[in-house]
Amino acid sequence: MKDSFFRSMTWLHTWTGLLVCWLLFLIFFAGTLSFFRHEITFWSQPAVHDVAPQDNRVLAQQGQISAALQHLEANAVEADTWWVGLPSERNHVIEVSYKDKGKEGERGQWHDQYMDPNTEETLGEYRDSHGGLFFYRLHFDLHYMDRTVARWLVSFASLFMLIGLISGVVIHKRIFKDMFQFRKGKGVRTWLDAHNLSSVLALPFHIMITYTGLVTLIFMLFPYPAMTQYDEGKKAFFADLSPSRQHADITGRTVEMLPMKQLVDQFYTDWPHVDIKRVIVDHPSDETARLKFYANTGTKIQDEMPVWVYNTVNGELIMTENTDFSASETLYDSMIALHTGRLSLPGLRWLFFVCGIAGCVMIGSGAVMWAKRIRERMKADQTASFGLRLVEGLNLATIMGLPVATAAFFFANRLLPDSYTGRAEAEIHLFFLGWLGVALMALYKAGTAQWRQLAQLNAVLWLALPICNALTTEGNLVSYIFKEQWVLAGFDILCLLTAAVFYIQSRKLASKQAAKPAVNKALKGQAV
Amino acid sequence: MIQLLAFLFCFTSFTGFALAKSSHYKSVFGVRVDAKLSRHIRIVSWVCLLASALMSMWHQFGYGSILLCGYMAVSVMCLALLLSYMPAKLRSLIYLLPGLLVITAVLALL
């Protein structure tokens, strides 16, 4: 019984893992990069690199909000929404955006600009780029497909991952005994050790991130309680859960709004010392216009920001939300906060990142190990089956292709001209074109030589990225260090580290390739 | 500084857990660990882990507990790499660890 239980658990672990490992790798990879979403966006916008952070950030907010809203009042009267993002610990500039009223049945277009918080003047040359937002959306919406379908796919993959994790813990009998074990240079055993080590060292993270990942989409996966409780189903449930997010339709009847400065001053009289993260005005100048202040939650394990909603005509406070949670709301919201990691200061953010990389290693090593095991069991004269070649091709395409694609995305950000129409989309197309190129090569042949070539390509690309950055912007690694711009310096250092890792990989693969003919010769010699 | 101290305690704790195992002790010190020493190392490791938990949760319980999970992950990763690739360097580090802990503790108190 015991034997068959372990055998069936091993079977479950192998097949649930193998079936979705490539999609999971993409989800983990994009999710891991998303922990640095704002930092990537910051890197993507060279115009804001030299804006100095403020010492009295919270104290300066009142004036900044007024200035930003007055700027929008002057420049975007006809807009559907005004959006102001205040400087935070991770973002030094004021983001000033507005959304057009879309044509009938269409969503309006967003227009973004940055303001210098020190001078309250708009910064030119906003670069049309999604930056870190691309990886964030890729993590759960994938791309080139319907969002709902993508989210269902991601949810299935996550569910399989959770099953893989639990069955993995069951079949890994020596979880504490072999905790630190990594035997190098022992073929499949080394891959197994890498798989076990990367799983066990961040096991709490892996379980947390997978489980809370499913929780983020729980209302899509399990809408039945809401559908039973509310006559109008999920829509009514969300309206009840989060009234501040409900948008009344524009009536078209224009009203005279109170001056924005007066409304902001009134908020600060009522709620002084609040650290504000975002201010939104829905439907400015329409009779349904609402002014919303969102507070920064800082390091609290809370994802939903407290919000204050004001009537812009008479300055009346209509509602406050997310200031007092029920037990179930706290549980749900804290899980989302854990998953998104928005609460993290740089130290914890890096720990999240390292654990995310461990997740990628876990998935990648598991997939490689499956193919290696099958190859090892094959007889000398046996040819590889279609399934094995497919798995090997997909492994190479995913594990080595995603870094190539990511580098292509970053190069596109630096090299595409600012005036290029549809620039942001073009960056994304280049990401997928880069990946497609590697995938075609990998599916044609996926031997040691191809792994080595792609490792070399990655090493060259990631080494060239800081150089390209230095040539196309006004800063470089040395100036970043002297000016203490640690985010930009960190980006360059991480590129160089990635290049170094791929270089080491290519060297190891070269020595492995060189060893192979020698072994074959020796074997032939013995046979003679 | 208190967080650095918490990480160092966590790393010390997991170094202890690794050294309490015969194979790892041998790869670092060249001899097998006897049962009594192994038990003592394990007790000290648990105390260090408890100290690390208390320190990381000193200011915020929730945030600190997430940090502790991260410290554990990084500690295990560093140890596994050191044990496989540089066991001799790990031996030097083990001798340095008490000193590092004291210096960091003094700096944290200041």
Reported as a single tens digit per residue, the pLDDT across A284-294 is 888 888 999 99
A17: its two tokens: 């893992």
What was the pLDDT predicted at A525? Answer: 52
Any domain includes A81? yes
Residues A369 and A449 in one domain: no
Any domain includes A324? yes
The contacts of residue B43 (CB under 8 Å, 6+ apart) are: none
Angle at A275 between CA A269 and CA A281, to 5 degrees: 75
Confidence of residue A181 (pLDDT cuts 50, 70, 90): confident
Interchain proximity B73–A180, CB inside 8 Å: no
Confidence of residue A40 (pLDDT cuts 50, 70, 90): very high
Residues A387 and A445 in one domain: yes
Give residue for tokens 């990367």: A198
Residues A414 and A308 in one domain: no
Q: Please give the average per-residue pLDDT across B51-67, as a whole number.
A: 89
Confidence of residue A528 (pLDDT cuts 50, 70, 90): very low
Name the closest residue on chain B to residue A190, using Cα atoms.
B84
Q: At residue A281, what are phi and psi to the nearest 5 degrees?
A: -115, 115
Residues A112 and A251 in one domain: yes
What was the pLDDT predicted at A287? Answer: 86
Residue pairs spanning A and B at CB distance below 8 A = 68
Q: Within 13 Å of residue B6, how many CA atoms lie on the same side as its CB?
A: 22
Mean pLDDT score across all residues of chain B: 91
Indicate the domain borders of chain B: 2-109
Statement: residue A218 has pLDDT above 60: yes
Q: Please give the average per-residue pLDDT across A218-241, as a whole number.
A: 89
Question: What residues of chain A have any CB closer than 8 angstroms to a CB in chain B?
Answer: 177, 179-184, 197, 200-202, 204-205, 208, 299-301, 334, 338, 343, 347-348, 351-352, 354-355, 358
- Report which secondary-structure segment, H or E, holds A218: helix A218-221
Interchain proximity A182–B81, CB inside 8 Å: yes
What was the pLDDT predicted at B7? Answer: 93
Interchain proximity B62–A347, CB inside 8 Å: no
Q: Which range, A30-44, A120-134, A374-388, is most confident? A: A30-44
Residues A121 and A76 in one domain: yes
Residues of A in contact with B72 (CB under 8 A): 201, 204
Q: Within 13 Å of residue A146, how many CA atoms lie on the same side as its CB?
A: 3
Residues A123 and A165 in one domain: no
What was the pLDDT predicted at B32? Answer: 87
What was the pLDDT predicted at A240? Answer: 86
Q: What DSSP character marks residue A187? A: T
Residues A398 and A512 in one domain: yes
Q: Which of A281, A326, A359, A254 is nearest to A76 (CA)?
A: A281
A71: its two tokens: 């700027």
What was the pLDDT predicted at A13? Answer: 94
Q: Answer whether A79's CB lies under 8 Å from A257's CB.
A: no
Considering chain A, what percentage of its residues have pLDDT values greater than 70? 97
Residues of B in contact with A177 (CB under 8 A): 21
Reported as a single tens digit per residue, the pLDDT across A45-77 is 998 898 888 888 888 888 899 999 999 988 888
Nearest to A180 among B69, B72, B76 (CB): B76
Reported as a single tens digit per residue, the pLDDT across A74-119 is 888 888 999 999 998 888 899 999 998 877 777 888 888 899 988 8
Among the residues of A142-187, which ranges form H helices?
147-171
A257 CA to centre of own chain = 38
Which candidate in A174, A176, A180 is best for mutational testing of the B interface (most B CBs within 10 A)?
A: A180
Confidence of residue A332 (pLDDT cuts 50, 70, 90): very high
Residues of B in contact with A201 (CB under 8 A): 72-73, 76-77, 80
Interchain proximity B80–A201, CB inside 8 Å: yes
Residues A30 and A157 in one domain: yes
What was the pLDDT predicted at A410? Answer: 96
Q: Please give the average per-residue pLDDT across B37-49, as a whole number.
A: 94
Residues of B in contact with A299 (CB under 8 A): 60, 63
Statement: residue A522 has pLDDT above 60: no
Residues A400 and A372 in one domain: no
Residues of A in contact with B71 (CB under 8 A): 351
Q: Name the least confident of A176-180, A327-331, A345-349, A414-418.
A: A176-180
Interchain proximity A354–B63, CB inside 8 Å: no
Any domain includes A255? yes
Any domain includes A190? yes
Q: Is A328 exposed, middle or buried (0-12, 13-18, 19+ CB in 10 A)?
A: exposed
Q: Answer whether A322's CB lies under 8 Å from A291's CB.
A: no
Interchain proximity B17–A354, CB inside 8 Å: no
What was the pLDDT predicted at A527? Answer: 46
Q: Which of A463, A484, A486 is nearest to A411 (CA)?
A: A463
Q: What total number of domains does chain A contain?
A: 3
Residues of A in contact with B62 (CB under 8 A): 300-301, 334
Residue A331 domain boundaries: 50-128+242-340
Interchain proximity B73–A205, CB inside 8 Å: yes
Residues A358 and A493 in one domain: no
Any domain includes A225? no
The contacts of residue B32 (CB under 8 Å, 6+ apart) are: B22, B25, B26
Q: Return d(Cα A288, Cα A307) in angstroms, integer.
A: 18
Q: Name the least confident of A3-7, A115-119, A343-347, A523-527.
A: A523-527
Reported as a single tens digit per residue, the pLDDT across A425-454 is 999 999 999 999 999 999 998 888 999 999
Reported as a single tens digit per residue, the pLDDT across A191-210 is 999 999 999 999 999 999 99
Statement: residue A524 has pLDDT above 80: no
Q: Please give the average per-residue pLDDT across A455-463, as a whole number.
A: 97
Choosing from A361, A377, A393, the residue where a domain stops is A377
Residues of B in contact with A501 (CB under 8 A): none
Q: Which residue has the higher pLDDT, A377 or A136?
A: A136
Mean pLDDT score across all residues of chain A: 90
Q: Which residue has the higher pLDDT, A513 or A9?
A: A9
Give residue for tokens 């910051």: A42
